[in-house]
Amino acid sequence: MGTGWIIAAALAVISPTTEEVLVRGARLRELHAALILAEDRFYARYNALNKVDDFDIECAMDTHTGTKIPQRRCLTSFQSRLRALNGKEALEMYQQQASGPTGHPGRPPNTNPDAEWLGRYGEYKENMLYLLKMNPDLRRLVRARDDAEERYNTELKRMTRDGAAR
C-alpha cells in the first residue's frame, strides 16, 4: 500500500468537513494514447509532404511469433513490401518441401528485408532530414511527439519506482 492514504487520513482529521478529495492525474494508458496520437499526426503530415512513396510510413499492431502481446510497428512502405515478399518466398519454400521428394530443402527466400532496407536507409534519412528542415510544422509535430513520449516515460518511471517501493 502506498503512502497516499496517510495524507488522506491527515486531511480528514484536520478538516472533517471535507467530503471529497479530487485527485487529477493522467493514467499511463491515457499518456500512451496521447503518444500514439502525436506519432500518428507526425506520420500523417510526413506522408503528405513526402514525395517518395517507398518512404511513406505505415503503423499497425501485430503480434510476433512466441507472444500474445500485440505491439505497434511503424515501417516504411518499402520495408512492408520487402517483408511481405520475404514471407511469400518462405511460404513457397515450405510448399516445395511438402510437395517435393523427401529431404528436398526447397528454394530459400531471396529477399532479405533488413539488408535491402539498409541499402536505402541513407536516402530515407536524407529525405526525412530535408523535410524536417523545410517544414516548421513537421518540426513542431516531432517535438510534440517527443514531449508526449517524455510525459509517458516520466509517469512510467514514477509508477515503477512507487510500485517497487511498496
Q: What is the pLDDT of residues 23-79, one digit of tens each?
A: 455 689 999 999 999 999 999 999 999 999 999 999 999 998 888 999 999 999 999
Residue 143 has pLDDT above 90, yes or no: yes
Grid cell locating 160: 515503477
- What one-letter code names the amino acid at 29? R
Question: Domain of 149?
Answer: 27-165
Per the structure, the count of domains in the chain is 1
Q: C-alpha distances in angstroms, 27 versus 31, 111, 119, 144?
A: 6, 43, 41, 19
| DSSP H or E run through 61 | strand 57-62
The answer to the question of residue 105 being in a domain is yes
The answer to the question of residue 13 being in a domain is no
Which long-range contacts does 99-106 make (Cβ < 8 Å, 24+ apart)?
A: none
The answer to the question of residue 37 being in a domain is yes
Nearby residues of 11 by Cβ (< 8 Å), 6 or more positions away: 18, 21
The answer to the question of residue 9 being in a domain is no
Q: What is the pLDDT of residue 26?
A: 60
Grouping H, G, I as helix, E, B as strand and the rest as coil, residue 136 is helix
The answer to the question of residue 47 being in a domain is yes
The answer to the question of residue 158 being in a domain is yes
Mean pLDDT for the chain? 84
Report pTM. Answer: 0.73
The answer to the question of residue 76 being in a domain is yes
The answer to the question of residue 18 being in a domain is no
